[in-house]
Amino acid sequence: MADRVLILGGTGRIGSSVAQDLIAHTDAKITVTGRHPDAGEALSSKLGAKVEFLALDLADREGLTNAVAASNLVIHCAGPFHYRDASVLKSCIEQGVNYLDVSDHRSFTRKALDCKSAAEAAGITAIANSGIFPGISNSMVLQGVEQLDEVERIHLSYVVAGSGGAGITVMRTTFLGLRTQFEAWMDGKWQMVKPYSDRETIEFPAPYGRTGVYWFDMPETFTFPETFPAKTVITKFGTVPDFYNYLTWSVAHWWPASWLRNPAVIEFLAHVSHRMTDFTDRFSGMGVAIRSEVTGSKDGEPVGYCSTLVHENTSLAAGYGTGSIAQLMLDGKINKPGVWVVEQALPTNLFEQAMASRGLKIQGGWIK
């Protein structure tokens, strides 16, 4: 019988990109969920007979339980994950169904990792933080770490053009990430960092070139120190056109914290930003670039390894990242009971094969 995959939040930009990847690379039957039947029916009609729509609100626990029980794999794409608990994962554990998500916030990742022993006892494989960043970016760092004998420093930078092809949820996520300071691992200790601070100019591949990036709270900020023996982990994010960086910086540094804690303000910022990027996308494009730099030593000599990736559509690249892991889970090539983040669950050889099959080229080389 064909595998059945349930994509929660499957009518969104990321969820639908994951569905497209699964259609291209698996024979699975796919159910996408959402709260708006019109959008769901339009998507299932567009994607074909392998996709069906199920109207479902995650607050409907009975409906969620039934949908999970009818699946071989659940892919959680219903963000923003700042607001989510681990109820979907717990339902998968109860039903004995493998789980994958596109979460991008440390509070949610912590909740998922807290379920590790329960998932292991249930014999299910659960993987958090798949997609493009986090996701493909995590595997790029793992590639670099594996080149060295000792790791001192991980510097991971991202840049997104305009909207990145993403929907309103990603805009919400950006502004939610500006609300509070967060812990970063620097010089072997945890230190508090203000989001969208410490601008740094990074040389990305064409068409981005030298682009400004800023501290941003990502799950990798704490999962890398727990996975790799690095003394410093830096995660920075930026956008093009550059004036979006300055607008976001002004919100992070000038707006009262109470405003950013107000859901109505977050909605206002998200919708205004979405309208602005809808206009500028025609000039900037919707692509993404990632630069991973891992420094340390090899054969007793100081050295570093740098890898980069560029794709013209951020949402499609996120679909590749999640879809490739889903494919490997369905094929039984990833079978690791417990809860893991991508860099702990996906071996480099499988990652490289998956990216090559999707035409994603990662450029890497040594730096002195």
pLDDT for 246-265, tens place per residue? 889 998 889 888 888 888 98
Mean pLDDT of 106-110: 94
The mean pLDDT of 51-75, rounded to a whole number, is 94
CATH of domain 4-131+317-359: 3.40.50.720
CA-to-CA dists, residue 130 to 7, 76, 259, 321, 340, angstroms:
13, 10, 31, 6, 10
Contact 305, 147 (CB under 8 A): yes
Which residue type is seen at 296?
G
- pLDDT digit string (tens) for 280-319? 888 888 999 999 999 999 999 999 999 999 999 999 999 9
Q: What is the mean pLDDT of residues 71-87?
A: 93
**Measured at the alpha carbon of residue 141, what is the angle toward residues 136 and 142, in degrees to the nearest 5?**
95
Sorted by where each begins, the domain ranges of the chain are 4-131+317-359, 133-314
The structure tokens listed for 85 are 């608990």
What's this model's pTM, rounded to 2 decimal places? Answer: 0.94
**Apex 72 CA angle, 15 and 24, nearest 5:** 50
pLDDT at res. 1: 64
Query: Which CATH number is 133-314 given?
Result: 3.30.360.10
